[in-house]
Amino acid sequence: MSTFNEATLEVANTLRKDAPVIGIIFGIGTLIGSGVVAAMSARKSDKVLTAHKYEIEDIKEARKAGSIDEKTEKKEITRQYGRTAWELFKQFAPAIGMAVAGSALIWLAYKCEHTRYLEEHDKFMAASAALASTIADFNGYRERTRARFGEEVDNELLYDIQTEVVEEEVTDSKGKTKTVKKTVQNLDNAGLPGYGVYAKWFKKGCDPWENNAEMNKYTLQCIEERANEILKRDGKLSVNDIYEMCGIKDEFDQPLKTKAGQVMGWIYDPEGSDHQIDLGIFEPVNKAFVNKEVTDCLINPMPEDNIWELLEE
């Protein structure tokens, strides 16, 4: 019994989920059926129209023969037209009913889908507003952290950069070798913890990337400059646009597109800086990259606002 109930519930959920599609399919099918039934009814209506013609002729003949007067003739002709119209209506009623039913199904399917769209849109807008508020709070928190503890501590916390002490053998000018301890940053697990949802590695696999640190640095600076020019021209730019310009791919080797990246971005401020968009190329996490020691760079575009409302329908 439990299995039957589960199967019934699953079928009901499927029907509820696909109700708009089902309604449109059945509506179109019903409209096509109404056309077929109307064609069949049109063939049958020939008999009704022929009988109507003979009845009208009989009435006119009776008037000529003097069996009925002019007033009675007009009354009988009117009645005959009424009877013929009723017979024709009965012939075409199934086709008309099917056409009305098919149109109603399509309209109900549209209404159902439109209602779902409005509900999802409201939820999405609420989530977008919450996300924008959280981003603004985080950006404020990060500014306070930098002001109090400095950029280096801020980046270590943001990117989860671990420092460790390693021993290294060095040779002095006299040729003597000795072991010294050195504090280095471990970037193996650095990257995208916590709020680094927008931080992505510019590395092998990205379209503009080359196995040359200096060229990659120049490329990212050009992308940053271009992004600011586009922002000034269009008035808005999304995080997904930045990913596209950097050639960042997803796991399917397709241009990376995220929901948050579509909603969040930058809105041009004519009274603000000409460099609103900063990819974080020169942040401490990329020190080795800037020094040309590695070819990969961790870009961290920090969006300023929710640009969803500015997007065209």
Average pLDDT, the chain: 78
pLDDT computed for residue 244 by the predictor: 92
pLDDT computed for residue 199 by the predictor: 82
Question: Which residues have CB under 8 Å from 302's CB, separation 6+?
Answer: 139, 198, 278, 280
Q: Euclidean distance between the first and final Cα of the chain, in Å?
A: 48
pLDDT computed for residue 229 by the predictor: 92
pLDDT reading at 283 higher than 50: yes
pLDDT computed for residue 2 by the predictor: 58
Tell me if 268 sits within 8 A of 235, measured CB to CB: yes
| Structure confidence at residue 267 as a pLDDT band (50, 70, 90) | confident
Edge-first strand order for the sheet with 264-267 is 236-238, 264-267, 305-306
pLDDT computed for residue 165 by the predictor: 64
pLDDT reading at 265 higher than 50: yes
| Structure confidence at residue 197 as a pLDDT band (50, 70, 90) | low
Reported pTM: 0.46
Which of 124-128, 135-139, 210-214 tops mean pLDDT? 210-214
Q: How far is CA 108 from the centre of its chain?
A: 23
pLDDT computed for residue 226 by the predictor: 93
Q: Which residue has the tokens 């003597």?
A: 176
**Residue with the larger pLDDT of the pair 130 and 263:** 263
Q: Which residue has the tokens 């009645």?
A: 79
CA nearest 241: which of 198, 193, 273? 198
Average pLDDT score over residue span 214-229: 93
Percent of the chain at pLDDT above 90? 9
Question: Which residues have CB under 8 Å from 28's CB, separation 6+?
Answer: 102, 106
pLDDT computed for residue 253 by the predictor: 81
Average pLDDT score over residue span 12-37: 78
Q: State how far the alpha carbon of 175 is from the alpha carbons of 180, 181, 182, 291, in Å.
A: 15, 19, 20, 28
| Structure confidence at residue 223 as a pLDDT band (50, 70, 90) | very high
| Structure confidence at residue 182 as a pLDDT band (50, 70, 90) | low
Average pLDDT score over residue span 230-236: 89
pLDDT computed for residue 64 by the predictor: 80
* Bridge partners of residue 63, in order along the sequence: none
| Structure confidence at residue 310 as a pLDDT band (50, 70, 90) | low
pLDDT computed for residue 221 by the predictor: 93
| Structure confidence at residue 191 as a pLDDT band (50, 70, 90) | very low
pLDDT computed for residue 192 by the predictor: 47
pLDDT reading at 126 higher than 80: no
**Residue with the larger pLDDT of the pair 214 and 91:** 214
Burial per residue of 63-96, b for 16 or more beta-carbon CB atoms within 10 angstroms, e otherwise: beeeebeeeebeebeeebeeebeebbeebbeebe
